[in-house]
Structures are given as C-alpha cells and as structure tokens.
Amino acid sequence: MRMRLSLALTALLATLLATLGATTACAQPVHVAVAANFAAPMKRLAATFEQGSGHKLLLSYGASGKLVAQIRNGAPFDVLLAADTASVQQLAQEQLVVADTPFSYATGRLMLWSAQGALVDAKGQVLKQQRFAHLAVAAPQLAPYGAAAMQTLTRLGLAPALAPKLVQGESIAQTYSFVASGNAELGFVALSQVWENGALTRGSGWLVPATLHDPLRQQAALLTRAANNPGARTLLQFLKTDQAKAVIRSFGYETD
C-alpha cells in the first residue's frame, strides 16, 4: 500500500512540475524593440496579443539605427520591428537574426505635418514658399523616415535652400514632439503618428508621394537569443494575421 501511495505521489508531483514548467514557459516575457514610428499601432496590438496569448510584451521604442546598435551591444531584445529592411539584413549578416524569420509587416508613408490647422497645404507648396522658421526631420543616419525626408527634399530640389531651417530629432518620435509642441512649425513625420481610421488626428498635412523617396518597407525578425522563446515566435505569427493587419492599416500603413 505504501509503495502504491509513494508511486501515486511521485506521479502527481511529476504532473505538477510539468504543468508548472508549461505555465512558466507561457509566462516568459517577450522583449520587443520597436521602431519609433510604429509606437501607436504596437501599443494597440500588444493589448490584443497579451489578452489572447497570455504572453507579456516588454516594449522599447527608438530609432532603428539605435536599436540595431543596442542589439549588437547585447541588449536583451527577442524581436525587432524595424522601420526598414536594411537594419534586419545587417543583423542577419552578423548572425544575430534567426534565419527564415524576417518578413515585411508594414509599409509606411511619410507625412509633412503641422499642428497648425491651415499651415500645410494638400500639395506641399509650403516648402517652396518657406514661410516658416523651423522644419523638423529625424536624423537620417539613424531613422529611415529621416532618410526618406532628406531624399524628398533632394528630389524636390529644396535641400540646400532649407538646410538652415532644419531641426533634427534623433528619432521620428522626437521629431513629432518638436512639431506637436510648436517648437518647429512643421516637419516630416510618419503618417501613423498623425493618422487613425482614415483621417488626420489634428493639424494639417501633405502625404508625401512615395515616388519621392525609397520605399519604407518595415521588417520584423526573431533575434537569435530568443530562438527558443515560444512567445516571441507567437508574436511574429500574430503580426501576420488578418486581425493584426487590420489594426496596422488603420494607422495608415500598407500590408502585404
């Protein structure tokens, strides 16, 4: 009898430990490095994902160039949502990305925007009129949206004339802050920062034609340190769902 009881307790303990192990794995947090332009949709996506999956997301926002530097220096990120493809490709070449996991989760648009309701016209002629003191852009060496802004000015033939008026933010989030606060009358921001459900959230803007800059195709990838993190893989799968794509499109992005 004692032997049977001992065996039963051993079996029960094994079951409890297995259950505890599964629960711990499910509860393992996912550290996500997110390009600053994608902050608003990611916050909404994170809430849905956490509720449906049970995985906790720890989100860090910044310019893609800065996030890449942090990953190279050992930052504990599991997933990267970059604002471009080059950042992911660089990390892949350095074997910091799990092979076959990169994919494009969104294509962004650039917006010339002002918090003032009538400052920016629908064709962007305000740039040629130059009746403003400061034009905010994100640092082009760090932020893909900043690089797109400078390409736009160059292709319009306005880069030299507007150079004295430029105010640089280290990320597109800081650039938006400059314009939203009025420290710069207008600036180039991500459409997603000022757009939701088919309309500007405030101010005035010009949607920059995509022909004026390189495509803003944004890639996601699983980082090598998280190869065995089930939550990280589940998040990447979630971003490919119709539910996630609908949220992403509501902020002005295009999806495949």
Q: How confident is the model at residue 11 (pLDDT cuts 50, 70, 90)?
A: very low
Q: Structural domain boundaries of the chain?
A: 2-107+216-250, 109-212
Q: What's the pLDDT tens digit per position in 95-112?
A: 999 999 999 999 999 999
- Is 109-212 in the same CATH topology as 2-107+216-250? yes
The C-alpha atoms of residue 244 and residue 105 are separated, in whole angstroms, by: 10
pLDDT of amino acid 27 = 60
DSSP alpha helices (H): ranges in 81-125?
A: 86-93
Q: What is the pTM of this model?
A: 0.86
Q: Using one digit for the tens of pLDDT, what is the confidence trace for 116-174?
A: 999 999 999 999 999 999 999 999 999 999 999 999 999 999 999 999 999 999 999 99
Residue 13: is its pLDDT beyond 90?
no
Instruction: Find the angle CA(168)-CA(174)-CA(177) to the nearest 5 degrees.
Output: 110
Q: Is residue 3 over pLDDT 60?
A: no
- For domain 109-212, give the fold: D-Maltodextrin-Binding Protein; domain 2 (3.40.190)
Mean pLDDT calculated for residue range 32-56: 96
Q: Tokens at residue 218, please? A: 């944004």
- CA dist 83 and 256 (Å) reads 16
Mean pLDDT of the chain: 91
Q: Which residues contact 106 (CB under 8 A, 6 or more apart)?
A: 38, 41, 218, 248, 253, 254, 255
Specify the higher pLDDT residue, 23 or 145.
145
Give the CATH superfamily of 2-107+216-250: Periplasmic binding protein-like II (3.40.190.10)
* pLDDT at position 1 over 70: no
Least confident of 17-31, 96-110, 184-198: 17-31
Query: How far apart (Å, rounded) are the C-alpha atoms in residues 137 and 166?
Result: 7
- Calculate what percentage of the chain has a pLDDT beyond 70: 89
Tokens of 225: 């340190």
On the question of pLDDT at 20 being above 90, the answer is: no
Sheet holding 135-138, edge to edge: 166-169, 135-138, 186-190, 110-114, 204-207
Residue by residue, DSSP assigns 81-124 as: E-SSSHHHHHHHHTT-B-TT--EEEEEE-EEEEESSTTTS-TT-
- The pLDDT score that the predictor gives to residue 182 is 96
Mean predicted confidence (pLDDT) in 85-98: 97
Please state, as a whole number, how many other Cβ atoms lie within 10 Å of the Cβ of residue 151: 17
**Where residue 197 falls among pLDDT bands split at 50, 70, 90?**
confident
* pLDDT over 80 (residue 14): no
Going by their DSSP bridges, the two strands 30-35 and 57-62 should be labelled as parallel
